[in-house]
């Protein structure tokens, strides 16, 4: 794990406290159309200071358009885009410049300049701002320390691994002390282990600097690891939004459930393939539980109340944002035709979501 200098040595101040009115980003009914395609079809979203908000959607959902509207590279057709209280939709190109510096961008393919050293890459945004050489190199060294690459200041990007390049990309994004870090698929080009270390770095930076992070991704695992809140975007609309653990526990839309499919237990394929919709010796039930409901001895109680009423087929308990999120698949014998309904009623009375998926023999 990397060692970090405290926030005070980076920004000269402690991370700010989060309060309910502390909105850094506020989008109100943002629309952007390309010909007949509504790329953004009325997006409303907020991010508070110090919050990590994940925005997830499939290819073509509107994520890139949303990013370009947020950083002022694209103009929305209508709606409001407030960054730290200022509506950028109403600003001229000149007025936009200083506001753009409030948003640090981290890219999927790092976008480092191969002809510049690591410290020069990090210092570049400050050079463009006219900051003196000594000051910007000092800042670059602080940031290299923060991202765990103090020994790579004089290296060129070609000598770095993908994970190290992304650390440099993150350091560069922080150079101008932004209020928001906009991460555009920052881990999509990295292997799983490097992904974990980059996500851990983003989380540490978020905690230590109190930085707001917007995490744009198509991977639920990324959201699961570090986001506080998630917004699911589809066809230019936010179709679902909530704290990460509640969306994982109870996805309300098909698109969210489908994006989640790799990140939570599914009925094994070979069992799913042979299920009959109407009859069999066992009913196969999915059982979803989360939060306080997942903390009790549910299956022990079920066993005591209805002996030999089920067997566990698959599943487990995850912990997301320190909340238990459980998903099990159970097989209930149908020799007593009322047993599946009895089991289902017992579990539902204890706040489980239960669905009969089909019948097996």
Ligand X SMILES: Nc1ncnc2c1ncn2[C@@H]1O[C@H](COP(=O)(O)OP(=O)(O)OP(=O)(O)O)[C@@H](O)[C@H]1O
- Given candidates 30, 50, 53, 63, which one binds ligand X under the rule CB under 6 A? 63
Question: How far is 29 from 292, CA to CA, in rounded Å?
Answer: 35
- Taking each continuous run of H as one helix and of E as one strand, the counts in the chain are 13, 14
Pick one of 12, 21, 36, 59: the residue that binds ligand X (CB under 6 A). 59
Task: Please compute Rg for the chain using Cα positions.
Answer: 24
Torsion angle in degrees (nearest 10) through CA of 142, 146, 147, 148:
90
The residue behind tokens 């948003």 is 103
- Considering only 13-21, 57-65, 99-107, 275-283, which stretch makes contact with ligand X by CB under 6 A? 57-65
Strand pairing of 180-184 and 103-106? parallel
Chain centre distance of CA 9? 28
Q: In this chain, which stretch among 58-66, 138-146, 273-281, 318-326 interacts with ligand X, using CB under 6 A?
A: 58-66
Q: Is residue 62 a contact point for ligand X (CB under 6 A)? A: yes
292 interacts with ligand X by CB under 6 A: no
Q: Is 60 in the site for ligand X (CB under 6 A)?
A: yes
19 is a site residue for ligand X (CB under 6 A): no
Q: Which is nearer to ligand X, 126 or 220 (CB)?
A: 220
89 within 8 A of 99, measured Cβ to Cβ: no
- At 204, which helix (H) or strand (E)? helix 192-209
| Interface pick for ligand X out of 43, 45, 56, 61 (rule CB under 6 A) | 61
Q: How far is Cα of residue 224 from the mean position of the Cα atoms in its chain?
A: 6
Query: Considering the complex, what minimum distance in angstroms separates the CB of residue 221 from ligand X?
Result: 16
User: Minimal distance in Å, beta carbon 354 to ligand X?
Assistant: 34
Q: Across-strand partners of 286?
A: 329, 355
Q: Which residue has the tokens 């930076």?
A: 205
Shortest distance, position 217 Cβ to ligand X, whole Å: 9
| 64 in contact with ligand X (CB under 6 A) | yes
Asked if residue 232 lies in contact with residue 240, where contact means CB atoms within 8 angstroms, the answer is: yes
- The string of DSSP codes covering 90-148 is G--HHHHHHHHTTEEEE-TT----TTS-HHHHHHHHHHHHT--HHHHHHHHHHHHHHTT
Write down the least CB distance from residue 68 to ligand X, Å.
Answer: 8
Which lies closer to ligand X via its Cβ, residue 109 or residue 116?
109
Decide: is 6 part of the binding site for ligand X (CB under 6 A).
no
Residue 224 near ligand X by CB under 6 A = no
- Among 37, 111, 261, 295, interactor with ligand X by CB under 6 A: 37
- Per CB under 6 A, which region of 59-67, 157-165, 186-194, 249-257 contacts ligand X? 59-67
Does position 75 interact with ligand X (CB under 6 A)? The reply is: no
Among 4, 10, 52, 57, binds ligand X (CB under 6 A): 57
34 binds ligand X (CB under 6 A): yes
Binding site for ligand X (CB under 6 A): 34, 37, 39, 57, 59-65, 218
């Amino acid at each position: 794990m990397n060692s970090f200098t405290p926030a005070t040595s980076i920004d000269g101040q402690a991370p700010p406290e989060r309060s309910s009115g502390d909105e850094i980003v506020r989008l109100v009914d943002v629309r952007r159309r390309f010909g007949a395609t509504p790329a953004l079809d009325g997006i409303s979203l907020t991010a508070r200071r110090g919050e990590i908000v994940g925005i997830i959607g499939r290819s073509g959902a509107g994520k890139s358009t949303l990013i370009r509207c947020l950083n002022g590279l694209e103009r929305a057709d209508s709606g409001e885009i407030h960054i730290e209280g200022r509506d950028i939709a109403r600003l001229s190109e000149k007025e936009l410049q200083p506001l753009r510096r409030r948003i640090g961008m981290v890219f999927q393919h790092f976008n480092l300049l191969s002809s510049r050293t690591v410290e020069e890459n990090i210092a570049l945004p400050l050079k463009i701002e006219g900051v003196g050489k000594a000051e910007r190199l000092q800042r670059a060294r602080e940031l290299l320390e923060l991202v765990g690459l103090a020994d790579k200041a004089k290296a060129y990007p070609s000598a770095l691994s993908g994970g190290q390049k992304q650390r440099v990309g993150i350091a560069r994004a922080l150079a101008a002390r932004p209020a928001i870090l906009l991460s555009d698929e920052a881990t999509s080009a990295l292997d799983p282990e490097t992904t974990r270390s980059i996500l851990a770095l983003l989380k540490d930076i978020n905690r230590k600097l109190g930085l707001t992070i917007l995490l744009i991704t198509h991977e639920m695992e990324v959201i699961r690891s570090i986001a506080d809140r998630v917004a699911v975007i589809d066809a230019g609309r936010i179709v679902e939004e909530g704290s990460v653990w509640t969306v994982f526990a109870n996805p309300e839309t098909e698109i969210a459930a489908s994006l989640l499919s790799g990140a939570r237990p599914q009925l094994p394929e070979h069992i799913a393939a042979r299920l009959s919709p109407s009859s069999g010796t066992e009913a196969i039930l999915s059982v979803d539980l989360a939060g306080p409901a997942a903390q009790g001895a549910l299956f022990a109680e079920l066993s005591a109340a209805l002996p030999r009423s089920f067997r566990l087929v698959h599943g487990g308990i995850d912990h997301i944002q320190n909340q238990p999120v459980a998903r099990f698949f159970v097989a209930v014998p149908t020799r007593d035709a009322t047993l599946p309904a009895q089991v289902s009623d017992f579990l539902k009375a204890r706040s489980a979501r239960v669905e009969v998926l089909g019948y097996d023999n």
